[in-house]
Every structure is written in structure tokens, then in C-alpha cells.
Amino acid sequence: MQKRTLGQDLEVSALGLGCMGMSSAYGPAADKGEMIKLIHAAYDLGVTHFDTAEAYGPFANEELVGEALQPIRAQVTIATKFGFDIDLETGQRTGGTNSKPDHIKAVADACLRRLRTDHIDLFYQHRVDPGVPIEDVAGAVKELIAQGKVKHFGMSEAGVQTIRRAHAVQPVTAVQSEYSLFYRGPEAELLPALEELGIGFVPFSPLGAGFLAGKIDENTKFDPTDFRNFVPRFTPEARKANMVLVELVKSVAERKGATPAQVALAWLLAQKPWIVPIPGTTKLHRLEENLGAVDLELTEADLKQINEASSGLKLEGARLPEAVLKMTGL
């Protein structure tokens, strides 16, 4: 597996593994034993970077990741996230965002216990808290880094000016936001700023929540608890309209002897050498398929074809519900 560097010195596998879907968001939680096997398989295939959060479950995903990675802890990097008002004893959501410094420090200690480790490699603010100055957030993480509990500071779904302010207090190693052929918002302002500041980028939903893999159409039925039921871009009408993008990706895949998912991930990897996508899955064959993207070379002509053909497409539907978009500030 090829390696990439986030920020100045966090070396990780070129593709990480997003673990959220193993416990939440895409329907009922998968079998814990099977997911531990899947995480081990990912490591055996070269994945060294694993992404989780206290909010996934809540807590269940961190506990899963911690148990799975405990035997190989020294060989991997773990990213987790703070920033929501979650009762640290019960796991109940008690409010919206919460990045008060004392809460961040308490969350860090709780994450360490669940992850069965003495340090968090990459600690993201999951969502910007409008009630707490970002300088105070960065300062709290700076203290955790000084104590050895955290190695690197990350931010998720943050705007450029907020990132700049945080970076001035404690260097930001990575920013995580949605980015794929299905959503290219970061290209306008975020990516240029990250390049200027030397910050790595970790795209979540690099396959457009599964849409770019080519297995979803307007007739697909999601589990009642699947978050895509509430996403404007996943209404049946929007899916039908947006299939034009999937057909484009499929056409490139056929020509390259690859799958649509591999083309979508290879396209992301080709954008910048400091981009590390974190596709998630609960299936071994999908994991193996996704990792094949690292060895898929898209030529300049391939990339030009994709960019020219996709730039003229008008995709239907917002990427997230309006209430969630307001929380991101993007």
C-alpha cells in the first residue's frame, strides 16, 4: 500500500478506512465480530489509518475500533472526533455542539478508554461550535498534545477563515470534509487554502455515500434508519437525474478495466498528493475493490475527460438536509 503524509509528519496509508457505517448511519449496526475481522483484513491489505468518532453509536464505533486495533495498535493511526454535547456516561445526546475546553479534555479521556490506547493520533473537532472561540478549541487540543494524549489536531467541515485562526494557535494536521465527484465544493476555497497552509485533506463520503459505486438507482430502497432517506440528493427523483454522473464514471471504468468505485477513488487520489480518502464498507469484497483504486492510474487524458464531462452536469439535490448544512457553516 502506498503511503501519504497529512500535514507535516502524519504518515498514513493512501486510503484509510471510515468505520462509521459499521455501527450507525447506514442502517442497523453490523455484527461486531464480523467487523473486527474486516478491520483486521483491512490492515492485512495495507490500511494503516482508521477513522471513528464518539458520535458514531454514540460510543459503539470507538469501542469496536479500539477492540479490533488493540493487538496492532503500534502499527496503525486512529482518528476520532469530539464536538457534540453527548453525556459521557450514558451516551445520550443532550444538545448540539459542545467544544468547551473542559468538555474536550473529558471527551479525550473517554475516547482513550474506549479506544484502549494511551494516545489519539488525530483528534478532530467534529463540527465547529459557534459558542466557543476556535482559538480556545485549538488551545485545549494544544494542551492535550503537550500531555501526550493527542498527537495531531484536525478539523471537520470547517470554513477557511476558521481553519486559519485555529492553525495560528495549534497547527492543523488534517481537515475532513465531504469531497467526491458527487460533491466538489472544497475545490473553490478549501483546497487552495489547505495547500497554502500545508494541511492534509481527508475526504469523507468519497463515493458519494455509495452512489458512485453504481449499485444505487431511483428504485433502491434504503433501511428505514439509513440517513440517506433524509438527504435531498437521495430522493428517487434526484437519484434518477444524477445517474448521468454514474454513467460517466462507468464509461471510464469500462475503458480502464476497473469498477466505478475504483475510478471515483482514483480520481480523488489524483487531485493532490496530500489527499487521503476514507471510504467505508461492511463487506470484504467492497474493501478489496476500494483498495484496488490505489493501483489504478488515471492519465492526464482520463482526468481531463472526467473533468470536462462532469463540469457540465447539474446535479440535483443538496448534499445534506438544510439543518445539518447550517451546522457545518458551509
Show the domains of the chain with their CATH numbers.
3-328 (3.20.20.100)
User: Largest Cα–Cα distance of the chain, in whole Å?
Assistant: 54
Backbone angles phi, psi at 213, to 5 degrees: -75, -15
pLDDT at position 325, please? 75
**pLDDT for position 326:** 74
Catalytic, out of 26, 43, 56, 179: 56
Alpha-carbon 86 to chain mean position: 20
- pLDDT 10s digit of each residue in the chain, 330 long? 999 999 999 999 999 999 999 999 999 999 999 999 999 999 999 999 999 999 999 999 999 999 999 999 999 999 999 999 999 999 999 889 999 999 999 999 999 999 999 999 999 999 999 999 999 999 999 999 999 999 999 999 999 999 999 999 999 999 999 999 999 999 999 999 999 999 999 999 999 999 999 999 999 999 999 999 999 999 999 999 999 999 999 999 999 999 999 999 999 999 999 999 999 999 999 999 999 999 999 999 999 999 999 988 999 999 988 878 776 654
> Catalytic residue at 26?
no
Q: State the Cα–Cα distance between residues 96 and 106, nearest whole angstrom.
A: 17
Give the contacts of 282 (CB within 8 A, at least 6 positions apart): 21, 22, 26, 30, 34, 35, 38
SS3 97: strand
Residue 328: its pLDDT value, please? 65
Element (H, E) at 68: helix 60-69
Q: 233 vs 215, 240, 246, 263, 318, CA distance in Å?
A: 16, 10, 14, 21, 5
Helix axes 300-311, 260-271, angle to 10 degrees: 100
State the pLDDT at residue 98. Answer: 98
Please list the residues that pair with 6 across neighbouring strands.
10
Strand partners, 4: 12
